[in-house]
Amino acid sequence: MSKKIVVLGAGTGGTIISNNLRRHLPDEWEITVIDRDNEHVYQPGMLFVPFDIQKVSTLTKPRKKYILPGVNFVIDEITRIDPEKREVKTNNQTFSYDFLVISTGCKIVPEENDGLMDAMGENAFTFYSLEGAELLRKKLKEFDGGKLVLNIAELPFKCPVAPIEFVFLADWYFKKRGIRNKVEIELVTPLNGAFTKPKASAVFGESAKEKNITITPKFELSEVNGKEKYIESIQGDRVTYDVLVSIPTTIGDEVISDSGIDDGIGYVPTHLNTLQALKHERIYVIGDATNVPTSKAGSVAHYEADVVVFNIMAEIHGIKPEEIYDGHSTCFIVYSKGTSSLIDFNYKIEPLPGKFPLPHMGPFSLLNETKANWYGKLGFEWLYWNVLLAGRHLGMPPTLVMAGKEVG
């Protein structure tokens, strides 16, 4: 009998789960992980590049270095998933599987937003790619006043805290340069406020007000006009800008839609709690490739990987997968170079104040701007490369823990 697990995508989720599975399964189980290239990007670092806090050259490392020797790493373009035949095709090979894990993530498609590509590099930028983040760094360096607008084109998008972090950092950056009084900062979003969850959104909205940052909610982008420097909504509202920072439309990878297993925008319909593909047996989905209603964030991919390893092990032993995952997500929210907040929530429980991960003592404060949280955010990068990707555990369960949280 073949004993093969194939993992699609060797980004955050794919690397963690491949290594985690290798740690848990005997050698008779062959584990293969496939990605189109050998360049693993630490994506949270792209937020810091425009503000000269981090250099692009520090963000990419070889994927292979972070994949355990007992895992077969293949560099190839995945072109088709066939759930009936239990096969995956790449440009050069066909792989059969007993279990498949889809972790192909999501990507920005600026060409989907009318007018955006014409303005890109002139007065429109994005920090959601390495090249874009570097171009924006150069632009902000020479910017000596005017209106900076951050626009989220459409939902869903990756890392829902990144836009609010960007405008907070812009406030810090222009203060540091002594020109804050010459710069208007506006966040234009399709959401009802600064963030997806109402209570945290109110807290971030208050902080934005204190920093003299305008938030324009419920703005559904129709077009970018780079010549006249404005964005227009479907309802006909216009916001003018001097520099536009765009988070363009985001979709799942084409291989998901080309294989006919998507929800219409490239995400795999996924069971909220078992993380099984809803329509196909022996397929699990983690990270940004799922359609589950929690953040598209690295922390989510990490928590989900734990649950999927557990459920694949259960299936191997003939046991039904368990409905464990609760939408748990944990994110730092940088307020300035030197301070940060932190949120911890799941499908049902909104971010609450309190301490994390150690009840009552911290070290980190929830929904609160502190220096310790900033050091936590910085330290997280080391943890990412050296502990999390290796599929090691931090002694925390993948689901939300209420200890330390202030309820009511």
Ligand X SMILES: Cc1cc2nc3c(=O)[nH]c(=O)nc-3n(C[C@H](O)[C@H](O)[C@H](O)COP(=O)(O)OP(=O)(O)OC[C@H]3O[C@@H](n4cnc5c(N)ncnc54)[C@H](O)[C@@H]3O)c2cc1C
**Interface with ligand X by CB under 6 A: which residues?**
9-14, 34-36, 43-44, 46-47, 77-78, 103-105, 127-128, 158-159, 162, 253, 255, 287-289, 296-299, 301, 331-332
State the burial class of residue 162 (Cβ atoms within 10 Å of its Cβ: 0-12, 13-18, 19+). Answer: buried
Contact 203, 367 (CB under 8 A): yes
Could you give the CA distance from residue 48 to residue 100 in angstroms, rounded to a whole number?
Answer: 35
Count Cα neighbours of 101 within 13 Å in the Cβ-side half-sphere: 37
Residue closest to ligand X (Cβ): 11
Could you give the CA distance from residue 320 to residue 170 in angstroms, rounded to a whole number?
Answer: 49
Phi, psi of 275 (to 5 degrees): 70, 20
Nearer to ligand X, 35 or 326 (CB): 35
Give the nearest distance from C-beta 67 to ligand X in angstroms.
Answer: 12
The DSSP result for 385-407, as a single string, is IIIITTT---S--SS---TTB--
Could you give the CA distance from residue 306 to residue 322 in angstroms, rounded to a whole number?
Answer: 12
Strands 243-247 and 146-152, sheet pairing: parallel
Residues 6+ apart with CB under 8 A from 175: none
Nearer to ligand X, 63 or 405 (CB): 63
Could you give the CA distance from residue 187 to residue 283 in angstroms, rounded to a whole number?
Answer: 38
Nearer to ligand X, 34 or 261 (CB): 34
Residue with tokens 């301070």: 339
Nearer to ligand X, 3 or 61 (CB): 61
Give the nearest distance from C-beta 18 to ligand X in angstroms.
Answer: 11
- DSSP count for the chain of H helices, then E strands: 8, 24
Give the nearest distance from C-beta 163 to ligand X in angstroms.
Answer: 9
Residue 315's H or E segment, with its range, is helix 298-316
Could you give the CA distance from residue 376 to residue 255 in angstroms, rounded to a whole number?
Answer: 36
Give the nearest distance from C-beta 46 to ligand X in angstroms.
Answer: 4
CB atoms closer than 10 angstroms to residue 44: 22
Contact 19, 389 (CB under 8 A): yes
Nearer to ligand X, 132 or 354 (CB): 132
Give the nearest distance from C-beta 285 to ligand X in angstroms.
Answer: 9
Phi, psi of 187 (to 5 degrees): -105, 115
Give the nearest distance from C-beta 270 to ligand X in angstroms.
Answer: 12
Nearer to ligand X, 77 or 263 (CB): 77
Give the nearest distance from C-beta 41 to ligand X in angstroms.
Answer: 8
Give the nearest distance from C-beta 124 to ligand X in angstroms.
Answer: 16
And the tokens for 379?
A: 């330290």
Nearer to ligand X, 158 or 328 (CB): 158
Instruction: Indicate the angle between helix axes 198-210 and 162-176, nearest 10 degrees.
Output: 10
Nearer to ligand X, 243 or 388 (CB): 388
Give the nearest distance from C-beta 12 to ligand X in angstroms.
Answer: 3
3-state secondary structure (DSSP) of residue 47:
helix
Report CA-CA distances (Å) from 55 to 66, 385, 399.
21, 17, 34
Nearer to ligand X, 25 or 331 (CB): 331
Nearer to ligand X, 155 or 234 (CB): 155
Give the nearest distance from C-beta 17 to ligand X in angstroms.
Answer: 9
